Chains A and B, each alone.
Chain A
């Protein structure tokens, strides 16, 4: 087998092999069972709870849990705004980087609180080390908050679930200390050994062979890169993200970083199986997600390795595939693999320019974010999938002549209303945002001048990608878009906020309401949700609800470009 393909197969299989035991470990952590890490973390967690005056054993209902989640997010929001707008006056700023403008600080704060990590600034020049570290804190807490929300839903799905049976604070702290922290430590050490800097010193300077003086940005980056990968954050230390040689020095680090992207999202599924004691169900979810993921991945890898048709027509040989915007040290297959993993999981870190992906690969990357449930972000990916499952259960329940039941609980109008709103939100935000920017671009050419690097279909894809990335809390950019303007900062900020919290509130509410309902044991007439047939049904719902609503937009962007290049 081709070495490039072997590389991505290894990454894929390796991640799943690691995710199975990790998932069981996460399940045990949430369920409060004994694990080998208790020794280190019990005293640590106890201290945190004592300092913050929280009783982690208090049983809360879904409303209390959501209130806790939203209030602490609000507190972080103000804290971050304060730091980012005053960086020039605060310590740890050796390179004397400026404070952010209000709209950029708003965008950045929302972006990091919402686990999006859309960056309308460049790390080298836009933030101080203090700013970077505050952002890094958010990379932990936004990931932890997502995982905690997911854990609340897991516990509500249990057979014996009652409305009061979870505690957001408990899951949140444990996610950070017992899952994210140790894994980040391991990844950071791997990165350190491969040359990623970890220092508080300012830029270093060297004289190149040509005699030019070159300033090289550095900083406490290994720590941040680790959590940005593991927490599906994606906000890089440097502007070029993981394409930067210090952020991602070689193929080994690339493998480690890429596997970290979807390690926890996959592990969460096995945690689900462990917590609700339905392994088959977890494997069904895993199966649907994996098939969806592969359907996006395989053609993307194919088109990237095949090369750019425009260059082909010029008679230029492309033995390494389409290499525009890619790093030689990774190659086209690994770059395509990264592009799909990072978009499917709402991570958003990049190791190649997505702007330069061949049209259909670009479309598959966008589809990954439009669906946002093939693995998805840590915790939140499953929450998105949960909404699709509710809709699928409803329709398929009707198809077998039974009022729909999901894991023994009846789905009625109230749950459908919430699920429908959440499923609706994603296309609403993406399409409305893109429509708004298209409108400005056409009707106010003065204000929108300089937005787009390209005209025509590709330019359209740049705008579509930006809103898709915001709405999926992904944070990767198609780049080529002049996005640090008030319009983009504010509109993307609003999109990120809504699309972060609504899809958390919705599933937590549905699960909470369902947990309060009577549990009906399964009978021969009950539709089993852990079968391949049901998996197909969920897949069909995802395809028709999530993917097809974007069909006209995709037709104008990447599809038109694809047929145009043929």
Chain B
């Protein structure tokens, strides 16, 4: 997918324009009401408009029209800034989603008409939007796949670069775990029949776009709890401001409506209130930019809380398959003889292991001249494979299979070979014993290659407090060795699908949140059971339906990024809340003396910022309050950076930056604004 550059978005004129228009459109009370904090600002603005009209009609008790008008305008700007934050986040998300959606605009589809239960009938050209769930279409080389679906017949190479940005074509085939195709991708060779798996408008992408656009965006539980807290802060400040009226009466100070409103708007947490939904949208947007489609905002948040991560060994922790890493000869037999034998035995072996043996030996098919080879394929009974040449029988296979072969022929199985076998198994490898004419020549060591850098990633997860669990079909000995080498905390060896499920359940029972990635149909129950289930886009429809995220890149290590995105989302909310509330200290010191200084000159002592006049103090405070919102939009969209240094250190850092900073910054900011406007007020 074409990645959209952060910088580009914030300066893209068209986007900015859309967002600006949206900020006005969002002034309608119904959309304002969704955000209690900003809704009170909205009401305050209306009151101030009323006050201005009243002054226009000749009232003199509320101060000058210019001053009141200014306050009104600044309040309106505060609202627009907050709306703009939400609008720009939406616009970004939409731009991102649109670029995905473009790939699946109207394309002609070759629908296969059903004859009874069989899809063998004629083919009809229809628009992709006409396809319904369950319909079958045909795609041939060069066709764009019109809809998401599952291959029911055939195999094809597919260019998925439109979705993943990865240019190398992938193979998708019917049956198995690689049967899923995505609308918008292109068939490069062969032809496939695909059954549509989603109704139009209900694909994951459509759901995600709806989430970003706000139509179906629901507040997450965490967002609701924070809104409650913010609303209660707002209520406290309503009380503080309303009761100031009789207090002012008692002190003999008439307090203007503008001053009340200014104090109120400054005290309520408008900064976080204005940025709250932008933060949420930006979180999903960041996930989307990591090429992960989330089915709900909640899933992203949950990701930040994960305690346990289940990862498949193959492809995630290790590179694909095992590789031959070493030939172990036995005394009395020339090593070149061993190599020659094993290369010959592997010539017809198309498995990755077989290929890796040739690779290790530095040999090709043409290295040795042989005549009339008869290749013996691997069977479950013999558990060995090999080649028969003129009078020579070469076999390679599991240790016990070859031992049986050798001892049956009356030969003995060398002690040295036995030792190698034990040593290799103990170090997590798989031994292959090679024999020629039922005599052992040596042992080939196959090893799992652990992905470079994976250990560091697990270490990072551990510091985040996330436990990693490796799932593998290997025997416990091998599993244990690889687990230790890769640095995972736990492993499930000889895993069957239900083992994953049981492990997830067990972790959840002890109160933990579990994530897993999977692609196969037999992963579906576990994906559904996990708190965060990430299905590979290449996986089966069942897997994608069961999980709550889909990874377009099919990258199993993506979970690490998802965890960080989730944490960033929560952290951004928390730090901006703290910042917003800490700002109140300075605002109190700006406004409270200004309110009463005319009747209680002694309160000048509280004017520690030495602000010019009551009017300039109040204006400076609400101007600061307004402009801090757009200043923080980039941070809200980007997210507060997360470092896995442990919760305590993280809290200390954020408390220092956003707590202490939140107390100090407004002192400087308000003073600066006051200096700038003190000529006029």
Interface residues of A, Cβ cutoff 8 Å to B: 391, 394-403, 408, 411-413, 415-417, 420-421, 423-424, 427-428, 431-432, 434-436, 438-439, 441-443, 457, 460, 518-521, 523-528, 531, 533-534, 536-537, 540, 544-545, 548-549, 551-553, 555-556, 559-560, 562-564, 566
Contact = CB atoms under 8 A, between A and B. Distances in A.
A447 B603 CA distance: 30
21 contacts: A395-B574, A397-B574, A398-B571, A398-B574, A398-B577, A400-B647, A400-B650, A401-B304, A403-B570, A412-B225, A423-B232, A428-B239, A435-B245, A520-B512, A525-B464, A533-B655, A537-B655, A552-B588, A556-B600, A559-B606, A560-B596
A427 B228 CA distance: 17
Nearest to A543: B585
Contacts of A400: 567, 571, 574, 647, 650-651, 654
Contact of B236 (A526, A545, A556): A545
Given A402-B567, A537-B651, A563-B604, A420 B228 contact: yes
B20 interface: no
A521 B222 contact: no
Contacts of A424: 232, 235-236, 239
A405 to B, nearest CB: 9
A524 B606 CA distance: 44
Given A435-B247, A523-B307, 8 more contacts: A396-B574, A400-B567, A401-B574, A424-B239, A434-B247, A520-B510, A525-B466, A549-B237
B243 interface: yes
A428 B237 CA distance: 10
Contact of B570 (A398, A428, A564): A398
Given A402-B567, A403-B570, A552-B595, A526 B229 contact: no
B680 interface: no
Given A391-B229, A399-B651, A402-B570, A552 B466 contact: no
A26 B503 CA distance: 42
B577 A395 contact: yes
In this complex, which of A442, A519, A552 has the most chain B Cβ atoms within 10 angstroms of its Cβ? A552
A529 B567 CA distance: 19
Interface in B157-215: none
B243 A553 contact: yes
Interface string B284-316: 000000000000000001101101000000000
Interface string B235-265: 1110110111111011100000000000100
A438 B246 contact: yes
**What class of interface size applies to chain B in its complex with A?**
35 or more
Given A402-B647, A548-B585, A559 B249 contact: no
Interface string B629-670: 000000000000010001110111011001100000000000
Nearest to A428: B239
B432 to A, nearest CB: 41
B581 interface: yes
B605 interface: yes
A431 B578 contact: no
Contacts of B333: none
A76 B653 CA distance: 51
Contacts of A399: 571, 574-575, 578, 650-651, 654-655, 658
A212 to B, nearest CB: 42
Given A401-B567, A402-B647, A548 B588 contact: yes
A315 to B, nearest CB: 22
Interface string B215-240: 00000011011101101110111011
B674 interface: no
Contacts of A394: 225-226, 229
Contacts of B305: 402-403
Contact of A420 (B229, B573, B575): B229
B457 interface: no
A129 to B, nearest CB: 41
B422 interface: no
B650 A412 contact: no
A398 B569 CA distance: 9
Contacts of B36: none
A549 B301 contact: no
Given A401-B566, A401-B567, A524-B465, A431 B510 contact: no
A556 B305 CA distance: 46
B229 A416 contact: yes
A559 B595 CA distance: 14
Nearest to B591: A552
A527 B651 contact: yes
A536 B236 contact: no
A295 B246 CA distance: 31
A527 to B, nearest CB: 4
B45 interface: no
Nearest to A416: B225
A72 B593 CA distance: 48
In this complex, which of B231, B235, B602 has the most chain A Cβ atoms within 10 angstroms of its Cβ? B602
Nearest to A408: B511
A138 to B, nearest CB: 31
A534 B654 CA distance: 12
B244 to A, nearest CB: 6
Interface string B542-577: 000000000000000000000000111111011101
Contacts of A521: 510-512
Interface in B135-150: none
In this complex, which of A398, A432, A443 has the most chain B Cβ atoms within 10 angstroms of its Cβ? A398
Contacts of A528: 647-648
Nearest to B571: A401
B249 A439 contact: yes
Contacts of B585: 544, 548
B349 interface: no
Contacts of A442: 246, 249-250
A555 B239 contact: no
Given A442-B249, A460-B250, A398 B651 contact: no
Nearest to A546: B236
A533 B653 CA distance: 10
B577 A560 contact: no
In this complex, which of A399, A420, A424, A566 has the most chain B Cβ atoms within 10 angstroms of its Cβ? A399
Contacts of B463: 524
A146 B232 CA distance: 26
B355 interface: no
Nearest to B658: A399
Given A400-B571, A435-B247, A552-B595, A544 B605 contact: no
A423 B228 CA distance: 12
B247 A553 contact: yes
B467 interface: yes
B226 A398 contact: yes
Contacts of B642: 401
Given A553-B247, A564-B602, A526 B240 contact: no
Given A395-B574, A403-B305, A556 B511 contact: no
Given A401-B570, A524-B462, A544-B581, A549 B236 contact: yes
Contacts of B247: 434-435, 438, 460, 552-553, 556
B243 A556 contact: no
Nearest to B226: A398
B240 A533 contact: no
Contacts of B250: 438, 441-442, 460, 556
A435 B568 contact: no
A510 B593 CA distance: 39
Nearest to A560: B600
B582 interface: yes
B651 A396 contact: yes
B647 A438 contact: no
Contacts of A555: 592-593, 596, 603, 606
B300 to A, nearest CB: 12
In this complex, which of A395, A457, A559 has the most chain B Cβ atoms within 10 angstroms of its Cβ? A395
A167 B240 CA distance: 39
Nearest to A402: B305
Contacts of B466: 523, 525
